[in-house]
């Protein structure tokens, strides 16, 4: 295809502003999906995406569009809208020349609208501002067109108004895409260079790699090389999605499509990497490749210990399709055998746990999420601690924790309550900016460790769901952090250790000891439950002793009843964990980890 006839664009929006629905309408209006096979969120292929209504993996679709008697090829790249997947969003954007900035006409600009817009501007994309859902009775297009025009510069009249639901305005939008977004440019005679912006695992075909060709061309049976890993493969198939895969004779400058090489592991085909020709390689890779970093860690344990091999196999399988998932075996006194897993963020953690439970039938317990801390000991050694129970013993000279820069967009009435929340999470207010008459963006620097633990829930409940949050990494800071251990009769219970700020250590200790006192049944002897920082006890509860004589209730006679009781007791014991001499039902650990 002549590059002049190609337009590459993406749709960026806050979650739920209607990106997937608009994409559906485009598929229909351009005729590549007929009305009969149309189903909602056509491009969101994973079950979990469809059920939660979110897009996890981006997809690219080629659509024909005619304007003034000429046919253009529009490549639409759907991007995930959530903060955890910022790296994927930014790679998708780098594959485009333009972006449709979609805003719900009943909601206005939100935190991820801004975050995505900034990413698009960093990539020099042409922005087309669009208000969606104008069919809604609550829509206020006048107000929000002005808000949007103020944000990106321009006139409110130039903000297009559409409804992804009814299809109104969508054809005009596609015309605008052709008119406003620049055609791709590249050197057709140079050695091939294509950027990988997505890589998905398919059980039948292996890894399917989505690329945007910058220079040169890629052809079937060509031998290609990945520039970061130097791995080389033969192209078994190359083509475009429209939206089903259609093999082609090759992809040239500016084209977007997929490659299949038969590899089985997405780590061989990394998002952000450059594909080149093996025999005539390009000298310089395209900019932008980085390994996404795990920022949230949690231990995943099967509730039924015999499921451990199933869990291992399930993680191995998920890893094939998700290169950002990390895990290694871990054992815990309280929870048995499991894995310490690293995730991009909280949503990523939730999605993986849900997929493990749903697709592999596992029942799992996840330990409280933790972030990576850099801990320096007296002998000047620094280690990265992702699991509180591996915190070095002995004298600690320095602890640093990851920071994020958070943007919170809220109606101005909630500014006070949000400040309170952020202060209680050790946040540092960097600035505030007004949008329109009634909304404010508050910028905070906050330790990531304070955000991963129920921050979002608190933000939502304090603002009746109106505030939205986005954040990006912002380096590290030294902090007064300590490890709090929880002890049962002097024995440490690993899964309950936590790294917290010095000022919060006491509250954590108190909460956990109280919680455990309620959950752990009385034993034959007295059991102290203590919270400690090193050797210093900071909180204590005691479970008093009982003489547990189950047979005493049976009045001697009834032998079968006695036997039944004994069996029942034995069964109960199977799910008991021993911490030193103390017997604790596994349920108690699970309940304590889950909180209220």
Binding residues for Mg ion, rule: CB under 5 A, are 19-20, 55
Strands (E), 173-270: 193-202, 206-215, 223-226, 232-234, 237-241, 245-247, 256-260
Q: What is the CA radius of gyration of the chain?
A: 28
Contacts of 170 by beta carbon, 8 Å cutoff, 6+ apart:
22, 25, 26, 29, 162, 163, 164
Among 29, 135, 248, 312, which residue sits at the site for ligand GDP (rule: CB under 6 A)? 135
Rounded Cα gap, residues 354 and 52, in angstroms: 11
Is 324 assigned to a binding site? no
Q: Is 163 in the site for ligand GDP (CB under 6 A)?
A: yes
Rounded Cα gap, residues 229 and 417, in angstroms: 49
Name the nearest CA neighbour of 73 among 9, 163, 168. Answer: 9
Is 135 assigned to a binding site? yes
Give me the DSSP letters along 332-354: ETTTEEEEEEEESSHHHHHHHHH
Is 134 assigned to a binding site? yes
Among 6, 7, 10, 19, which residue sits at the site for ligand GDP (rule: CB under 6 A)? 19
The least CB distance from residue 53 to Mg ion, in Å, is 6
Is 132 assigned to a binding site? yes
Rounded alpha-carbon distances, angstroms, from residue 38 to 29, 75, 454: 11, 19, 38
**Residues within window 21-60 making contact with ligand GDP, judged by CB under 6 A:** 21, 53-55
The smaller minimum CB distance to Mg ion, of residues 28 and 417, is found at 28
From the list ligand GDP, Mg ion, none, pick the one residue 407 interacts with, judged by a Cβ distance below 5 to 8 Å according to partner type: none
Is 16 assigned to a binding site? yes
Rounded Cα gap, residues 242 and 26, in angstroms: 12
Q: Is 540 in the site for ligand GDP (CB under 6 A)?
A: no
From the list Mg ion, ligand GDP, none, pick the one residue 16 interacts with, judged by a Cβ distance below 5 to 8 Å according to partner type: ligand GDP
Is 133 assigned to a binding site? yes
Among 133, 193, 340, 355, which residue sits at the site for ligand GDP (rule: CB under 6 A)? 133
CA 497 to chain centre: 25
- Tell me the backbone φ, ψ of residue 439, rounded to 5 degrees: -120, 150
Q: Is 108 in the site for ligand GDP (CB under 6 A)?
A: no
Classify residue 138 as exposed, middle or buried by CB count within 10 Å of its CB (0-12, 13-18, 19+): exposed
Rounded alpha-carbon distances, angstroms, from residue 250 to 183, 218, 246, 260: 19, 5, 11, 12
Q: Is 112 in the site for ligand GDP (CB under 6 A)?
A: no
The least CB distance from residue 104 to Mg ion, in Å, is 13
Is 81 assigned to a binding site? no
Is 19 assigned to a binding site? yes
Q: Is 20 in the site for ligand GDP (CB under 6 A)?
A: yes
From the list Mg ion, ligand GDP, none, pick the one residue 21 interacts with, judged by a Cβ distance below 5 to 8 Å according to partner type: ligand GDP
The least CB distance from residue 134 to ligand GDP, in Å, is 7
Among 7, 17, 62, 212, which residue sits at the site for ligand GDP (rule: CB under 6 A)? 17
Rounded Cα gap, residues 13 and 112, in angstroms: 7
From the list ligand GDP, Mg ion, none, pick the one residue 15 interacts with, judged by a Cβ distance below 5 to 8 Å according to partner type: ligand GDP
Q: Is 15 in the site for ligand GDP (CB under 6 A)?
A: yes
The smaller minimum CB distance to ligand GDP, of residues 136 and 565, is found at 136
The smaller minimum CB distance to ligand GDP, of residues 43 and 125, is found at 43
The smaller minimum CB distance to ligand GDP, of residues 53 and 490, is found at 53
Rounded Cα gap, residues 91 and 79, in angstroms: 9
Tokens of 14: 């806050």
Rounded Cα gap, residues 86 and 9, in angstroms: 17
Helices (H) and strands (E) in the chain, counts: 14, 31
Is 116 assigned to a binding site? no
Angle at CA of residue 255, ends 249 and 259, nearest 5°: 55
The least CB distance from residue 284 to ligand GDP, in Å, is 36
The least CB distance from residue 27 to Mg ion, in Å, is 13
The least CB distance from residue 142 to ligand GDP, in Å, is 17
Is 321 assigned to a binding site? no
Residues making up the annotated binding site for GTP are 16-21, 132-135
Q: Summarize as ranges the residues that interact with ligand GDP (CB under 6 A).
A: 13, 15-21, 53-55, 81, 132-133, 135-136, 163-165
């Amino acid at each position: 295809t002549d590059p002049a006839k190609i337009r590459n664009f993406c749709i960026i929006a806050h979650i739920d502003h209607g990106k997937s629905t608009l994409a559906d309408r485009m598929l229909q209006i351009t005729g590549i999906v007929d009305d009969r096979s149309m189903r909602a969120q056509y491009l969101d292929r994973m079950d979990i995406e469809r059920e939660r209504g979110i897009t996890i993996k981006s997809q690219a679709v080629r659509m024909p569009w005619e304007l003034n008697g000429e046919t253009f090829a529009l490549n639409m790249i759907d991007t995930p809208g959530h903060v955890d997947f910022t790296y994927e969003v930014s790679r998708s954007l780098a594959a485009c020349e333009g972006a449709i900035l979609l805003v719900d006409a009943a909601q206005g600009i939100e935190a991820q609208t801004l975050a995505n817009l900034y990413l698009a501007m960093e990539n020099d994309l042409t922005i087309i501002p669009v208000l969606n859902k104008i069919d809604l009775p609550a829509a206020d297009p006048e107000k929000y067109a002005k808000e949007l025009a103020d944000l990106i510069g321009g006139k409110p009249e130039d903000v297009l108004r559409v409804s992804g639901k009814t299809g109104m305005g969508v054809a005009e939008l596609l015309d605008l895409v052709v008119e406003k977004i620049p055609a791709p440019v590249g050197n057709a005679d140079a050695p091939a260079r294509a950027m990988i912006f997505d890589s998905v695992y398919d059980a039948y075909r292996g890894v399917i790699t989505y690329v945007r060709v910058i220079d040169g061309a890629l052809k079937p049976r060509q031998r290609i090389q990945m520039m970061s890993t130097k791995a080389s493969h033969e192209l078994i198939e190359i083509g475009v999605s429209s939206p089903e895969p259609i093999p082609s004779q090759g992809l040239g400058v500016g084209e977007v499509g997929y490659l299949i090489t038969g590899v089985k592991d997405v780590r061989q085909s990394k998002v952000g990497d450059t594909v080149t020709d093996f025999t005539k390689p390009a000298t310089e890779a395209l900019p932008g490749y980085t390994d996404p970093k795990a920022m949230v860690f949690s231990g995943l344990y099967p509730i039924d210990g015999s499921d451990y091999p199933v869990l291992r196999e399930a993680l191995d399988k998920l890893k094939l399709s998700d290169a950002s998932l990390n895990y290694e075996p871990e054992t815990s006194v309280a929870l048995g055998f499991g894995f310490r897993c690293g995730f991009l963020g909280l949503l990523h953690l939730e999605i993986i746990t849900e997929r493990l439970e749903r697709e592999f039938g596992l029942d799992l317990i996840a330990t409280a999420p933790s972030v990576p801390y850099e801990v320096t000991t007296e002998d000047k050694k620094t280690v990265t601690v992702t699991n509180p129970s591996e915190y070095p013993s002995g004298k600690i000279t320095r602890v640093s924790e990851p920071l994020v820069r958070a943007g919170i967009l809220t109606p101005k009435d909630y500014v006070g309550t949000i400040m309170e929340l952020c202060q209680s999470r050790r946040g540092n207010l960097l600035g505030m900016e007004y949008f329109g008459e009634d909304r404010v963006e508050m910028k905070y620097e906050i330790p990531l460790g304070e955000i991963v633990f129920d921050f979002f829930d608190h933000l939502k409940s304090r603002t009746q769901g109106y505030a939205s949050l986005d954040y990006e990494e912002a380096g590290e800071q030294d902090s007064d952090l300590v490890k709090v251990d929880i002890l049962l009769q002097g024995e440490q219970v690993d899964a309950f250790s936590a790294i917290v700020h010095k000022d919060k250590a006491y509250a954590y200790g108190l909460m956990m000891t109280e919680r455990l006192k309620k959950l752990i049944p009385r034993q034959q002897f007295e059991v102290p439950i203590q919270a400690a920082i090193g050797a210093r006890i900071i909180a204590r509860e005691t479970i008093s002793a009982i003489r547990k004589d189950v047979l005493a209730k049976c009045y001697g006679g009834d032998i079968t009843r006695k036997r039944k009781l004994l069996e029942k007791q034995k069964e109960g014991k199977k799910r008991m964990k021993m911490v030193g001499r103390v017997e604790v039902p596994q349920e108690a650990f699970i309940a304590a980890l889950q909180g209220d």
